[in-house]
């Protein structure tokens, strides 16, 4: 599905996906590697349109970086949409990528399927203990988000100065067009 302005084209996905073969739709919000963001009400309207036999994975790996005004309550959506699975990770704002731990939130119908498919012993007990401690460490999360916002501003100020085109990002990275003065050699 071609992207629109580097983001998911939800309308085109809806129009294209309603076939008997469609089983799963994957939406990353904010998206990687573009950093684009879909507003909550738009996502909710999308979820309303998706047939119940199609699972939607809403990948929220960067959700902790979102400013308060962009947040939406996807946990509440999980209560309403039995075909929705929200996934989160400790690899980004929590700073625990090396521990290989994340989690999913969904109704039992989906979590039961995941449980049957998961590898045994997939998240070790130390990673689980660290993850639980990290969940309660609000101060670290705030610091992490503030540092990220500061780094983002610094980067885009420099890009603006250099006249480099970039895609506004809600992640912890920025997609930038590295303009070259000479055409790259073609093979």
Ligand X SMILES: *Cc1c(COP(=O)(O)O)cnc(C)c1O
- Applying CB under 6 A, the residues found at the interface with ligand X are 28, 32, 59, 61, 89, 91-92, 97, 102
CA 60 to chain centroid, in Å, comes to: 3
- In whole angstroms, give the CA distance from residue 65 to residue 57: 19
b/e map 20-48, b = 16+ CB within 10 Å: eeeeebebbbbbbebbbbbeeeebbebbe
Instruction: Report the nearest approach of ligand X to the CB of residue 102 (Å).
Output: 4
Q: At what angle do helices 40-49 and 10-17 cross, to 10 degrees?
A: 10
Instruction: Report the nearest approach of ligand X to the CB of residue 47 (Å).
Output: 19
Instruction: Report the nearest approach of ligand X to the CB of residue 187 (Å).
Output: 31
Instruction: Report the nearest approach of ligand X to the CB of residue 38 (Å).
Output: 13
| Residue among 52 and 102 whose Cβ is closer to ligand X | 102
| Residue among 36 and 89 whose Cβ is closer to ligand X | 89
| Residue among 89 and 148 whose Cβ is closer to ligand X | 89
| Residue among 59 and 64 whose Cβ is closer to ligand X | 59
* Helix/strand/coil (H/E/C) assignment for every residue in 116-137: HHCCCCCCCHHHHHHHHHHHCC
The helices-and-strands tally (H runs, E runs) of the chain is: 6, 6
| Residue among 30 and 81 whose Cβ is closer to ligand X | 30
Instruction: Report the nearest approach of ligand X to the CB of residue 101 (Å).
Output: 7
| Residue among 19 and 151 whose Cβ is closer to ligand X | 151
Q: Tell me the DSSP string of 148-167.
A: HHHHHHHHHHHHHHHT-EEE
- In whole angstroms, give the CA distance from residue 31 to residue 66: 12
**8 A C-beta contact, residue 69 and residue 36:** no
């Amino acid at each position: 599905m071609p992207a629109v302005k580097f983001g998911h084209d939800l309308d085109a996905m809806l129009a294209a996906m309603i076939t008997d073969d469609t089983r799963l739709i994957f939406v990353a919000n904010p998206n990687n590697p573009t950093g684009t963001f879909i507003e909550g009400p738009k996502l909710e309207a999308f979820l309303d349109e998706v047939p119940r036999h199609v699972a939607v994975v809403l990948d929220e790996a960067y959700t902790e970086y979102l400013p308060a005004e962009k947040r939406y309550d996807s946990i509440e959506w999980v209560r309403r949409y039995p075909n929705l699975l929200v996934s989160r990770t400790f690899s980004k704002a929590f700073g625990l990528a090396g521990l290989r731990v994340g989690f999913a939130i969904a109704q039992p119908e989906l979590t039961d399927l995941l449980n049957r498919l998961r590898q045994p012993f997939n998240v070790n007990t130390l990673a689980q203990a660290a993850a639980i401690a990290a969940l309660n460490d609000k101060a670290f999360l705030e610091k992490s988000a503030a540092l990220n916002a500061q780094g983002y501003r610094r980067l885009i100020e420099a890009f603006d100065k250099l006249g480099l085109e970039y895609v506004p990002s809600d992640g912890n990275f920025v997609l930038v067009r590295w303009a070259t003065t000479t055409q790259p050699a073609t093979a």
